[in-house]
Amino acid sequence: MTSNLLQDLIAEILIRLPVKSVVRFLCVSKEWYSLITSSYFIKMHLKFSIETNRDRTLILNEEDFAPASHYISAVQFSSKYNRFGKTVEIYQPLLNWVVSDYCDGLVCLHNGHEKQDVAVWNPLVRKYRRFPFEPIEEPSGFSDVRFSHLAFGHDPRNDDYKVLRVIEFYMEDMIGMEFEVKVCSMRSPSWKKIDERWPNMVICCWKSVALNGDVYWLVADRVGQHRKSLLAFDLATEKFRLYGTPVPLENYLSTFLDVLGGLLCCIVHDYMYCDVYLMKKYGVEGSWTQIFKIEKNVLCRNFEYFRTLMFSTNGKKVLLEEHPECGRTNLIWYDIEKNRCYRVKNRSFPYVFKVATCIGSLLLLDGDNVIDPPQKKNKRKRKR
């Protein structure tokens, strides 16, 4: 009885610690190792991380003219003080692989624009798992014109993390088209073709999002591509569903999807404004609610688009990832009540990057180790 109480007390203490601290305790004893690596403890630790917004790390994936490197930048965020630390370079498992998506502290990586090589990586515990190579099977009669898309999310019904790959095939006239949809999971690491047929619509936004067991894309009618809808894929049932968006039926505006505060987020870029909507009731398209509208002159004058990353601790500010038409990427705190922006000043940030938001997670503790090369352990000087 006393032993069980002590074990429960140890678990309650460890659940409240950040990932790096918990990992250090794996070597204390066999009992502690068994506790920390148990699925129950990993789930409870993740749940506590999400609820408290603690142990949050931003992975900054450098882009464009950045030289090929095994290293990637990471910066810790203090939810207590709403501050960022200094960026550090962490060693990613596979050279020249690109961050595609992220979920529950796991980062999905891919190699090459056709996304035939895929891996999942936990940067905080320094573990990864590579999925089997999956070649693309081109349908008969189609040209070499094709586009590949990846999505990554959690299937809560089966407690599994899954990668979805969608390939768009086009005929030479660019009118005839076909889709190939395959899924691979961490529990069953083999690719499977989805029987459900993709709707007769095209993907019109490069970024998918995952929420509550569904993966979402912004899609449009093939003719004109202006009437936009939300296409959801249920990772458990492997079925598609279509939802309406807060965007007018016929428009020429840039629209993006994100997840903000645990809710589906739709960002609409007008010529002078940016409207941000949240789906307040999950799966109810009538619950889209505008939470703020930003005048473009409040942000930088010539920006291409921005993403919503997270709320501040008090919920009064939103962290935005701003991409100018040319120049460096900025992180900006937008004050919803005051309609003001505050640029995050951090000289250690890369010049051009995209952000993957990682919560503290012990998932993938049984994965392959990421080992730094001996010659790379010394601190490198970065060119700015």
pLDDT tier at 378, thresholds 50, 70, 90:
very low
pLDDT tier at 171, thresholds 50, 70, 90:
confident
In the chain, the percentage of residues whose pLDDT exceeds 70 is 86
Instruction: Please state, in angstroms and rounded to a whole number, the distance separating the CA atoms of residues 344 and 347.
Output: 10
Q: Among 3-7, 88-92, 122-126, 191-195, which is the least confidently predicted range?
A: 3-7
Higher pLDDT, 254 or 58: 58
pLDDT tier at 67, thresholds 50, 70, 90:
low
pLDDT at residue 174 greater than cutoff 70: no
Q: What is the mean pLDDT of residues 31-37?
A: 94
pLDDT tier at 300, thresholds 50, 70, 90:
low
Write down the pLDDT at residue 162: 97
Higher pLDDT, 271 or 37: 37
Instruction: Please state, in angstroms and rounded to a whole number, the distance separating the CA atoms of residues 163 and 101.
Output: 10
Write down the pLDDT at residue 241: 94
pLDDT tier at 145, thresholds 50, 70, 90:
low
**Most confident by average pLDDT, 68-72, 201-205, 356-360:** 356-360
Higher pLDDT, 264 or 69: 264
Write down the pLDDT at residue 376: 46
pLDDT at residue 372 greater than cutoff 80: no
For residues 47 and 64, is the Cβ–Cβ distance under 8 A?
no
Higher pLDDT, 223 or 157: 157
Q: What is the mean pLDDT of residues 93-122?
A: 89
Write down the pLDDT at residue 66: 52
Write down the pLDDT at residue 142: 73
pLDDT at residue 53 greater than cutoff 70: yes
Residue written as tokens 């591509």? 225
Phi, psi at 229, each rounded to 5°: -135, 170
Residue written as tokens 């921005």? 306
pLDDT at residue 271 greater than cutoff 80: no
Higher pLDDT, 204 or 19: 19
Taking alpha carbons only, the member of 367, 379, 363, 384 closest to residue 160 is 363
Write down the pLDDT at residue 144: 66
pLDDT tier at 113, thresholds 50, 70, 90:
confident
Taking alpha carbons only, the member of 232, 277, 236, 239 closest to residue 255 is 277
Q: What is the mean pLDDT of residues 201-211?
A: 87
User: How distant, in Å, are the alpha carbons of 192, 264, 295, 313 from that of 337?
Assistant: 48, 21, 14, 15
Write down the pLDDT at residue 1: 47
**Most confident by average pLDDT, 57-66, 120-129, 163-172, 313-322:** 120-129
Higher pLDDT, 383 or 254: 254
Higher pLDDT, 209 or 328: 209
Higher pLDDT, 383 or 360: 360
Mean pLDDT of the chain: 85
Instruction: Please state, in angstroms and rounded to a whole number, the distance separating the CA atoms of residues 231 and 19.
Output: 35
Local structure of 368: helix, strand or coil? strand
**Most confident by average pLDDT, 100-109, 173-182, 216-225:** 100-109
State the first-to-last Cα distance of the chain, in angstroms, to the nearest integer: 60
